[in-house]
Amino acid sequence: MNEEQDFTVSKKLNVLIAIALRQLTGDKDFSQSKKRKQGVGDLVRYLSDMGLDAKDISEILGAPLQSVRTLLTPTRRKLHG
């Protein structure tokens, strides 16, 4: 596989993971509204511990990349972990 194919497969897997997480958490709001996602900190840390990078976590959870990175900073992790 080349890099473009890897990117396409990664995007498709992120969509499937996002849909599965929404079903597990009972989130039925699939609108594209820009309202702030509440309570994603635990999911961010969980997905990070599973080896996903911040960009993929951001895409899966629909949270801004900067917010995901902030939640993953060492000082924030100590406060919540």
pLDDT digits (tens, 9 = 90+) for 18-67: 888 888 888 766 665 656 666 788 889 988 998 889 999 998 888 899 99
The percent of the chain in helix, strand and coil, each rounded to the nearest 5, is 65, 0, 35
C-alpha to C-alpha distance for 56 and 71, rounded to whole angstroms: 14
Question: Is 21 in contact with 60 (CB distance < 8 Å)?
Answer: yes
pLDDT of residue 15: 84
Phi, psi of 4 (to 5 degrees): -65, -40
Closest CA to 14 of 50, 51, 52, 46: 52
C-alpha to C-alpha distance for 41 and 60, rounded to whole angstroms: 13
Whole-prediction pTM = 0.66
73 pLDDT higher than 70: yes
